[in-house]
Structure 1
């Protein structure tokens, strides 16, 4: 996805789905951004935007997810 093209609902849904797959693999936000940029050619800014919106809509999930990420790195 190029940054100059208009963003469609299906673009957002695709990135949402790919982020969910990253979450299943217990990836951090940065790891997810790198993976989507490398393998799906998705602009990291777009990935971050979708991730942030998912965090806003699912605060409790991401609180627990981020906590588990911190626990697993120590």
Structure 2
């Protein structure tokens, strides 16, 4: 059995579940909004040079990068 590995630190996690909506545009990125109040909580940026590699950047509302994500390789 594989060991569990934390990818995001606990300080970035909420203690309670929230309903979120992801709105995505395949060429420009997207946003994640809180269903409760409609506030944007995260941005998804897809820089031009990363589009071809299946990568995107998860950023806070101010645009500061939090996480870089790459699509899983298909075997």
TM-score by length of 2: 0.25
Give 1 or 2 for the bigger CA radius of gyration: 2
The structure carrying a bigger helix percent of its residues is 1
Whose relative contact order is higher, 1 or 2, with alpha carbons under 8 Å and at least 6 apart? 1
TM-score by length of 1: 0.25
